[in-house]
Amino acid sequence: MFTLAHLSDPHLPMPTARAGQLLNKRATGYLNWWRNRVHLHVPEALAGIVADIKAEKPDHIALTGDLVNISLPTEFSRAARITPPTPAMAPEIMKTMMRMRATLIPARRAASALPPTA
């Protein structure tokens, strides 16, 4: 039997931003993150999900949806490296993702910001 782990919209934690980066709709998203969503997308929850995936040993992992919040350049570089939100989580998350086959299907706004492939 083939087992699939599906992780959708993990929304990595928001990095700090300079005022100039928060023009247009980014300001609203930034405030919404720090007032509300910061309490929903906690690093410990992501670590628990990764631990569960590791324990279940699926044949494949599908990571879909939003990894970023307001499309800051630092969010994309962090997401591209699958950098965990805290340094203490780095070894476990990176080891798990490296050992397992995974597919990333980003949300539309993230996909449009990815560099073109050859």
- When pLDDT is cut at 50, 70 and 90, the band that residue 73 belongs to is confident
* pTM of the predicted protein model: 0.63
Q: Rounded to whole angstroms, how far apart are CA atoms 31 and 55?
A: 36
Q: 1-10, 59-68, 85-94, 106-115: which has the minimum mean pLDDT? A: 85-94
Determine which helix (DSSP H) or strand (DSSP E) holds 30, and give its type and residue range.
helix 26-35
SS3 content of the chain, % helix, strand, coil (to 5): 50, 15, 35
